[in-house]
Amino acid sequence: MSLLEQNPNIDISVLLPVRERPGPMEDCLRTLIDTASAPERIEVLIAFDDDDTDTIEYFVDVIAPYLDSKKVTYTAMQFKRLGYIRLNEYLNKLAENSQGAWMFFWNDDAVMTTTGWDDVIRSHNDQFALLRAETNHEHPYAIFPILPRKWVEITGHLSPHQINDAWTSQIGWMLDIVVTIPVMVEHQRYDLTGMNGDDVFKNRPMLEGNPNNPRDFNHVTWRKRRMQEAMMIGNYLAPLGYDLTHFKLGIENKVDIWEKMAALDKKGLLKQWKIHELDH
């Protein structure tokens, strides 16, 4: 992956794949931009499927003029449909064309409820961290990962696997660089809110739950790759003075590397999937 050079005038790149949700797309973007302190320092990159003409037309007619009025930089990219099972490929291409210091994976069924959320992200500009907003999931993962640009430069992508939030979150927790920020996002997913119970929600295949499947998130091949990427990032952080004691002791099985993540799992949401021993 060859990233564009960072634009010093852009702090945050919002990465947004969309499909067949013109109204929710508008809501997710308006709540994000209208609550931002400096919308002109945000860029929005949107991935459309080429067969989703209604959503594309709605963006051109309604959303683009709104973003222009807010002086928000934006890029619209059209894809031959990849499907939810290849969600990470949309995100990786958007990341490749981004310009911001931070990359924020956003959803077309999410709404921002915190005013000045962008200021909160900027306050971490001197850190290499995975920023984790609070959500109505009460899940220990960063459901909407906010990553420093360097993360993508080091690994070559946001995620090589479909389940982007789990991928980045597990690496972040292994390295002990997850920072929960005072930003609240409402995920208006059907099973959480009763909203957006459409075909997009109903027909989203998930590559998780069968570790014997080579494409499954917890197949040994992917577990080893997550460890490799954690080591790549760790090798970058060590000379900068980051404390990697937790990671090193976890690799040696002297501490539970998932302890901090599990402490936030108050609803036992991760118990349905076994967190495997580390593979390295």
Contact 184, 133 (CB under 8 A): yes
Say what the pLDDT of residue 277 is: 52
Say what the pLDDT of residue 15 is: 98
CA distance 179 to 25: 27
170 within a domain of the structure (yes/no):
yes
Quickly tell me which residue has 């060590």 as its tokens: 238
Pairing, β 110-112 against β 73-79: unpaired
For 177, the domain range is 1-274
Quickly tell me which residue has 């799992």 as its tokens: 265
**pLDDT averaged over 10-residue windows placed end to end, the chain, 280 residues:** 84 97 96 98 98 98 98 98 96 97 97 98 98 94 97 97 97 97 93 81 86 93 96 98 96 92 87 57
CA distance 241 to 234: 11
- CA 67 to chain CA centroid, Å, is 22
279 within a domain of the structure (yes/no):
no
Q: If we measure between CA atoms, which residue out of 54, 67, 68, 63 comes closest to residue 20?
A: 54
- CA 232 to chain CA centroid, Å, is 19
Say what the pLDDT of residue 203 is: 82
280 within a domain of the structure (yes/no):
no
180 within a domain of the structure (yes/no):
yes
Say what the pLDDT of residue 202 is: 85
11 within a domain of the structure (yes/no):
yes
* DSSP summary character for residue 276: P
CA distance 280 to 249: 13
Q: What is the pTM of this model?
A: 0.95
**160 three-state secondary structure:** coil
Total count of domains within the chain: 1
* DSSP summary character for residue 207: S
Say what the pLDDT of residue 200 is: 78
CB atoms within 10 A of CB 30: 16
Say what the pLDDT of residue 1 is: 60
202 within a domain of the structure (yes/no):
yes
CA distance 273 to 172: 18
Q: Which CATH number fits the domain that encloses residue 31?
A: 3.90.550.10
